[in-house]
């Protein structure tokens, strides 16, 4: 059996550590640029193992957080690999392969081992209890019935009693077991118990700690409990076939003939590796993987158990963990087309944040994606109509608008007691449902992006409508499309999510709101404040409205440059307070929501402001830059400006329809081609 330490050393040697070098394009057009070797980010990993294996596990949720580059978490040059990544890759692969090879298909299967717990509970290769404590697990029980609990445990024994292992459900002890075994020969504990459907807290731990010191260390009594693993499975009445196993184990030898075992293993490994590596695999690669299984068989493993090291090697391979694109001449600046497999991979991770499906791989094998642009366009249309394209909303649109900023917003509960976490979640969902109408997804209306700020429509629940003070759906309707004519709201800028996440806990912030518009919608970030300049209004400011205080602040020469860009935009939204509710006064003074933009155009209120921004040519150009970055995994550079302008023209001609932008982008040379990069110090 291949040990964990050997896997770790092998993976470290293949992956390397630290950030991967970014590219520095040096040529003018038609330079397609170069994307750094792209590690799967957390969402991409979870989606990929879902589509590869059929699992519902989300192991990457436990990976280190992905860094953000240019607003997105899929920018290749910031997706580094650390030692914790390697540990979690190994743990994830083991959990996934164990699930695949499990002979049963119980609806509930929860496992815990040493790598899943905090460091203070770890000792060598087991969970360690040095004192009385419980290890709780939150478990979603799918149906009422009998479930099996099993654990492998031992005790650091101290007379007169053996170590006691305690099991509890929802805080009530259900079984106490005497663990008489020692570490060299652990004891398996197993019993059944009844659980009702729903959420339960299931725990196990140590119940009879003993520590009696003595001047002679050899006479010190110290009783502890060690647990190698814990499992909860069931219900025991159900023993359906494991659908994941059937999906991966596509054949079984009928005889002990080694040649039949090798042939069947080759079939299984080749199919899995082709899909996991997102390309054809060579006979040599298959043979290399199968050799790992032959070693396990020679040590006594049965056919299926012996496949474990080969399957682990697939999931731990850099060819799986990275989206690999190769340059035949890595130091050459001469552009070259992506292979069909590389193109299929770019396409699927752009639109689905996951691996290519069988149809894409089949077309790639036939070299039809690059040979015929109509085939590529047809595939994009098919993929946009697949439910997996919803990731364009959950990932691209959410990161474009920085919606996660709402999660960290912390309105003052004393000033705004009506704001709740439930409303926070509904505000975020409102924006997602609204923005979905602008994306080329199945069932959306595909509105033009120029209407993003002016469309008099939103989605409301009863509670959110009441909070906004406008008519809404009845309680039995969860979400309802609602027309906003005759209300002070329209489009994106008047939604509670944007207004709340661009405010301070106790007040609005025209500066933050203006900065958000400039950065997220117009791609025109203001310059940072000069060194040493305070951005606080301070207690010496005049009394009056927030606007009056900001205008006084803006009179300072060192502050005027930035604030004249941001403040007018934010002033147009001053009719909405720090938690997105409409108001007419601030500190007892009438709200002044008028302003003048840099181009000399004036406005009064959020409606006129939204209309002016919607007419700003920077809006569509910014959308192009954002989608370009998300789709290709790098930000546009100076050599991409011609492409950005061409894509913007295409988007404008299509009335702001995102589908046309997607179709134009996937046919651009920046998407279908790449180049190498000279070594540092080399002359190109």
Q: Give phi and psi for 37, each to the nearest 5.
A: -45, 125
Would you tell me how many other CB atoms lie within 10 Å of the CB of residue 281? Answer: 20
- As a whole number of angstroms, the distance between CA 25 and CA 321 comes to 25
* Band of residue 155 on the pLDDT scale cut at 50, 70, 90: very high
**What are the tens digits of pLDDT across the range 526-541?**
887 766 555 555 434 4
Burial 205-219 (b: 16+ CB within 10 A, else e): bbbbbbeeeeeeeee
Cβ contacts of 632 within 8 Å, gap of 6 or more:
33, 35, 346, 350, 670, 671
Ranges assigned E (strand) in 301-382: 322-323, 336-337
- As a whole number of angstroms, the distance between CA 610 and CA 512 comes to 16
**What are the tens digits of pLDDT across the range 55-70?**
988 999 999 999 999 9
User: What pLDDT score was predicted for residue 537?
Assistant: 53
Lowest mean pLDDT among 119-128, 149-158, 332-341: 119-128
User: What pLDDT score was predicted for residue 189?
Assistant: 94
Specify the pairing of strand 322-323 against strand 122-123: unpaired
User: What pLDDT score was predicted for residue 236?
Assistant: 85
The answer to whether the CB of 332 falls within 8 A of the CB of 675 is yes
* Band of residue 270 on the pLDDT scale cut at 50, 70, 90: very high
Cβ contacts of 257 within 8 Å, gap of 6 or more:
none
Structure-token pair, residue 307: 């496949």
The answer to whether the CB of 48 falls within 8 A of the CB of 42 is no
Average pLDDT over residues 368-394: 96
Structure-token pair, residue 229: 């693993």
Any idea what the Cα angle at residue 474 is, between residues 468 and 477, rounded to 5°? 100
The answer to whether the CB of 67 falls within 8 A of the CB of 79 is yes
Burial 398-430 (b: 16+ CB within 10 A, else e): bbbbbbebbeebebeeeebeebeeebbebbbbb
Residue 684 has pLDDT above 90, yes or no: no
Residue 278 has pLDDT above 70, yes or no: yes
- As a whole number of angstroms, the distance between CA 373 and CA 5 comes to 48
User: What pLDDT score was predicted for residue 243?
Assistant: 85
Residue 125 has pLDDT above 70, yes or no: yes
Which of the 8 DSSP states describes residue 598?
T
Q: What share of the chain is helix, strand, coil (3-state, %, to 5)?
A: 45, 20, 40
* Band of residue 519 on the pLDDT scale cut at 50, 70, 90: very high
User: What pLDDT score was predicted for residue 548?
Assistant: 66
User: What pLDDT score was predicted for residue 102?
Assistant: 82
> 């906003």: which residue's tokens?
484
The percent of residues above 70 in pLDDT, for the chain, comes to: 90
Average pLDDT over residues 184-205: 94
Residue 108 has pLDDT above 90, yes or no: no
User: What pLDDT score was predicted for residue 536?
Assistant: 57
**What are the tens digits of pLDDT across the range 68-87?**
999 999 999 999 999 999 99
The percent of residues above 90 in pLDDT, for the chain, comes to: 76
User: What pLDDT score was predicted for residue 25?
Assistant: 42
The answer to whether the CB of 49 falls within 8 A of the CB of 90 is no
User: What pLDDT score was predicted for residue 26?
Assistant: 41
- As a whole number of angstroms, the distance between CA 44 and CA 46 comes to 6
Residue 277 has pLDDT above 70, yes or no: yes
CA distances from 302 to 293, 305, 662 (A): 10, 5, 49
Calculated CA dihedral for residues 371, 373, 378, 384, nearest 10 degrees: 110
User: What pLDDT score was predicted for residue 540?
Assistant: 40
- As a whole number of angstroms, the distance between CA 65 and CA 203 comes to 28
**What are the tens digits of pLDDT across the range 570-600?**
999 999 999 999 999 988 889 999 998 988 8
* Band of residue 140 on the pLDDT scale cut at 50, 70, 90: confident
Q: Give phi and psi for 140, each to the nearest 5.
A: -95, 105
- As a whole number of angstroms, the distance between CA 382 and CA 388 comes to 11
Residue 118 has pLDDT above 90, yes or no: no
- As a whole number of angstroms, the distance between CA 294 and CA 301 comes to 9
Indicate the average pLDDT of the chain.
Answer: 90
User: What pLDDT score was predicted for residue 6?
Assistant: 60
Helix (H, G, I), strand (E, B) or coil at 369: coil
Better-predicted residue by pLDDT, 306 or 557: 306
Residue 41 has pLDDT above 90, yes or no: yes
- As a whole number of angstroms, the distance between CA 465 and CA 497 comes to 14
Helix (H, G, I), strand (E, B) or coil at 234: strand
**586 cis-preceded (ω within 30 degrees of 0):** no
- As a whole number of angstroms, the distance between CA 44 and CA 52 comes to 12
Residue 210 has pLDDT above 70, yes or no: yes
Cβ contacts of 284 within 8 Å, gap of 6 or more:
none
**What are the tens digits of pLDDT across the range 565-574?**
788 899 999 9
Would you tell me how many other CB atoms lie within 10 Å of the CB of residue 634? Answer: 24
CA distances from 166 to 32, 35, 174, 222 (A): 62, 53, 8, 18
Better-predicted residue by pLDDT, 480 or 1: 480
User: What pLDDT score was predicted for residue 218?
Assistant: 87
User: What pLDDT score was predicted for residue 23?
Assistant: 43
> Radius of gyration of the chain from Cα atoms?
30
Average pLDDT over residues 95-123: 82
CA distances from 683 to 34, 326, 331, 332, 370 (A): 18, 21, 10, 10, 32
* Band of residue 19 on the pLDDT scale cut at 50, 70, 90: very low
User: What pLDDT score was predicted for residue 544?
Assistant: 61
CA atoms within 13 A on the CB side of 623: 27
End-to-end CA distance of the chain: 49
Question: If you count them, how many residues does the chain have?
Answer: 684
Q: CA 636: distance to chain centroid? A: 23
């Amino acid at each position: 059996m291949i040990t964990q330490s050997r896997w770790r050393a092998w993976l470290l040697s293949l992956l390397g550590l630290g950030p991967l070098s970014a590219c520095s394009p040096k040529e003018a057009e038609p330079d397609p640029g170069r994307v750094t070797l792209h590690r799967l980010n957390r969402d991409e990993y979870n989606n990929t193992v879902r589509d590869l294996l059929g699992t519902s596990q989300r192991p990457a949720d436990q990976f280190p957080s992905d860094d953000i580059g240019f607003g997105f978490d899929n920018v290749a040059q910031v997706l580094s690999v650390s030692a914790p990544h390697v540990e979690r890759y190994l743990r994830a692969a083991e959990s996934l392969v164990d699930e695949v090879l499990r002979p049963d298909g119980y609806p509930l299967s929860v496992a815990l081992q040493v790598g899943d717990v905090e460091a203070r509970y770890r000792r060598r290769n087991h969970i360690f209890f040095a004192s009385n404590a419980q290890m709780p697990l939150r478990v979603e029980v799918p149906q009422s019935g009998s479930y099996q609990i099993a654990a492998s445990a031992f005790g650091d024994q101290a007379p007169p009693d053996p170590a006691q292992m305690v099991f509890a459900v929802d805080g009530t002890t259900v079984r106490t077991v005497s663990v008489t075994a020692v570490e060299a020969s652990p004891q398996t504990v197993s019993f059944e118990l009844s659980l009702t459907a729903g959420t339960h807290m299931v725990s196990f731990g140590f119940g009879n700690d003993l520590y009696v010191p003595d001047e002679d260390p050899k006479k010190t009594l110290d009783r502890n409990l060690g647990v190698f693993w814990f499992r909860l499975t069931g219900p025991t009445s159900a023993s359906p076939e494991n659908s994941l196993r059937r999906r991966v184990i596509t054949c079984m030898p009928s005889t002990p003939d080694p040649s039949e075992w090798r042939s069947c293993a080759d079939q299984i490994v080749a199919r899995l590796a082709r899909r996991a590596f997102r390309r054809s695999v060579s006979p040599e690669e298959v043979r290399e993987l199968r050799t790992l299984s032959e070693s396990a068989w020679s040590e006594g493993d049965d056919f299926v158990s012996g496949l474990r090291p080969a399957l682990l090697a697939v999931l731990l391979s850099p060819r799986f963990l990275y989206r690999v694109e190769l340059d035949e001449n890595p130091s050459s600046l001469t552009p070259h087309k992506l292979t069909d497999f590389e193109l299929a991979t770019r396409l699927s991770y752009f639109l689905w944040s996951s691996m290519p499906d069988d149809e894409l791989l089949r077309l790639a094998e036939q070299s039809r994606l690059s040979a015929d642009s109509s085939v590529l366009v047809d595939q994009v249309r098919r993929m946009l109509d697949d439910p997996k394209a919803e990731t364009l909303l959950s990932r691209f649109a959410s990161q474009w608008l920085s919606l996660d900023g709402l999660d960290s917003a912390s309105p003052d509960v004393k000033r705004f007691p009506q704001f709740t976490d439930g409303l926070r979640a509904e505000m975020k969902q409102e924006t997602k449902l609204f923005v979905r109408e602008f994306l080329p997804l199945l069932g959306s209306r595909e509105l033009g992006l120029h209407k993003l700020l002016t469309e008099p429509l939103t989605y409301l629940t009863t509670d959110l409508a009441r909070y906004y003070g406008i008519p809404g759906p009845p309680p039995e309707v969860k979400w309802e499309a609602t027309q906003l004519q005759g209300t002070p709201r329209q489009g994106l800028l008047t939604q509670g999510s944007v207004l709340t996440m661009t405010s301070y806990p106790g007040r609005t912030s025209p500066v933050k709101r203006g900065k958000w518009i400039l950065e997220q919608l117009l791609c025109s970030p203001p310059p940072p404040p000069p060194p040493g300049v305070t951005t606080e209004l301070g207690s010496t400011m005049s009394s009056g409205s927030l606007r009056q205080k900001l205008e006084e602040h803006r009179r300072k020469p060192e502050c005027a440059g930035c604030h004249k860009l941001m403040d007018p935009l934010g002033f147009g939204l001053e009719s909405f307070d720090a938690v997105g509710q409409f108001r007419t006064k601030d500190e007892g003074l009438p709200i002044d929501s008028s302003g003048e933009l840099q181009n000399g155009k004036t406005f009064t209120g959020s409606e006129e402001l939204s209309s002016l921004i919607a007419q700003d040519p920077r809006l569509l150009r910014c959308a192009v830059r954002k989608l370009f970055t998300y789709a290709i995994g790098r930000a546009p550079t100076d050599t991409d400006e011609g492409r950005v302008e061409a894509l913007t023209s295409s988007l404008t001609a299509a009335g702001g329809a995102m589908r046309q932008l997607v179709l134009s982008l996937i046919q651009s040379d920046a998407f279908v081609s790449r180049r190498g990069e000279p070594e540092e110090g080399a002359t190109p």
